[in-house]
Amino acid sequence: MGLGNTEWQALRAEAMICTRCPLFAPATQTVFGEGPLDASLMLVGEQPGDQEDRDGHPFVGPAGRVLDRALGEAGILRERIYLTNAVKHFKFEPRGKRRLHARPNAGEIQACRWWLDQEIAMIRPRVIVALGATAARSLLGHVVTIGKMRGKPHQLPGGGNAWVTIHPSALLRLRDRTQAEHEFQRFVTDLRTAQRHA
């Protein structure tokens, strides 16, 4: 993809040795964004999970499988969108042999915002979907309530629009099957709407 690809490769290589916040130390690796550099739609999640931290790719764990199913139902090809996270290292609390997700704090989100800004500047998507409150906070610069922000475009400081929806991991936590399916369909609708505007 010419010069843009060279610049993106250089940016990714730089991110791999990032020490902007303490999260780099316990994490296995930086998990940088992936997708076509001319994508009109970008999806931003919170941070890599356990599986992503081990594999080095975004959205390859349980939440990624939910996202893949939703993208399929929304008629969106994963290989046509750019997928990344607001925070590039996995933040966790050890529980025996397991590593449990811990939410990034404001300082960690801010420290990683530089990388997200670089990705946005390089990809220049028409629409960015914030998956969850952490991603929305990173993009919009303030604490966000999903319920209030969902379903409408929000102007981004550098241009373009952001749409806010839930993170697919939220669907994994719903025990009631009827509620889970209802919320999944709402999520699909959010993705479809964002794609239409992209």
In CATH, what number is assigned to the domain containing residue 71? 3.40.470.10
User: Whole-angstrom Cα distance, residue 1 to residue 14?
Assistant: 19
What is the average pLDDT across 47-60? Answer: 96
Phi, then psi, of 155 in degrees rounded to 5:
-65, 130
Mean pLDDT taken over the chain: 94
User: How far does Cα 167 stand from its chain's mean position?
Assistant: 8
Nearest-angstrom CA–CA distance, 85 and 147:
21
The total of structural domains in the chain comes to 1
State pTM to two decimals.
0.95
Q: Which domain holds residue 125?
A: 2-197
Distance CA 41, CA 38 (A): 9
Span 72-121, pLDDT tens digits: 999 999 999 999 999 999 999 999 989 998 999 999 999 999 999 999 99
